[in-house]
Amino acid sequence: MTCTRCRGLMVPDRFMDLRDDTGHLDFLGWRCLNCGEVVDPVVLTHRVDAPTGPYQGRTRDRRMWERLVAA
């Protein structure tokens, strides 16, 4: 796979996301050995289905999440 930013070599990698609220702490993606670009299926999906206008739904409040973890 070739990086879209620098055309460098991308390799599969496993990433940790401690703030993910889907119940998964890690995910598989691709990392560019040249520039460090990281892509995963979610990033690729958002790039293909880019929104045409401002987001109208509710956003998650990070402060609420931190209160839940601290409890």
| Chain residues in the site for Zn ion (CB under 5 A) | 3, 5-6, 8, 32, 34-35, 37
Nearer to Zn ion, 1 or 25 (CB): 1
| Minimum gap (Å) between residue 9 Cβ and Zn ion | 8
Nearer to Zn ion, 2 or 45 (CB): 2
Helix (H) or strand (E) holding 22: none
The 8-class DSSP code of residue 33 comes to T
CB-based contact 16:24 (threshold 8 Å) = no
| Minimum gap (Å) between residue 71 Cβ and Zn ion | 41
Please give the backbone phi and psi of residue 38, each rounded to the nearest 5 degrees, phi first.
-120, 130
